[in-house]
């Protein structure tokens, strides 16, 4: 089937600015899935390392199968020397 036969509905919104929280909802009823969730983005600086933490989860539902999955958000941690030139 051609991809033009399917339509995906996407709704994203920043629901809080302090702290920055974003929510999302994506669905394609023809294919039969819904994914929704909330993300709180945090960053931490430890002197010579940096972490970007995505707090929150997404819920994936396959409508025609009745299956539901919870997906956690990944994080990144960069370690090493950091210098600042002024």
Phi, psi of 30 (to 5 degrees): -65, -40
pLDDT at residue 84 is higher than 50:
yes
CA dist., res. 73 & res. 76, Å (int): 10
Q: What is the pLDDT of residue 1?
A: 41
Total residue length of the chain:
86
Q: What is the pLDDT of residue 78?
A: 83
Q: What is the mean pLDDT of residues 17-24?
A: 92
Predicted model pTM: 0.72
Fold of 7-79: Porin (2.40.160)
User: Cα Rg for the chain, rounded, in angstroms?
Assistant: 18
Q: What is the pLDDT of residue 46?
A: 81
Mean pLDDT of the chain: 86
CA dist., res. 28 & res. 53, Å (int): 29
CA dist., res. 74 & res. 80, Å (int): 20
Domain boundaries, the chain: 7-79
């Amino acid at each position: 089937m051609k991809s033009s036969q399917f339509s995906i509905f996407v709704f994203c919104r920043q629901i809080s600015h302090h702290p920055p929280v974003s929510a999302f909802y994506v669905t394609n009823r023809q294919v039969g899935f819904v994914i929704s969730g909330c993300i709180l983005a945090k960053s931490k600086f430890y002197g010579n390392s940096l972490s970007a933490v995505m707090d929150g989860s997404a819920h994936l539902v396959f409508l025609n199968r009745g299956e539901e999955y919870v997906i956690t958000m990944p994080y990144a941690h960069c370690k090493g020397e950091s210098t600042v030139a002024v």
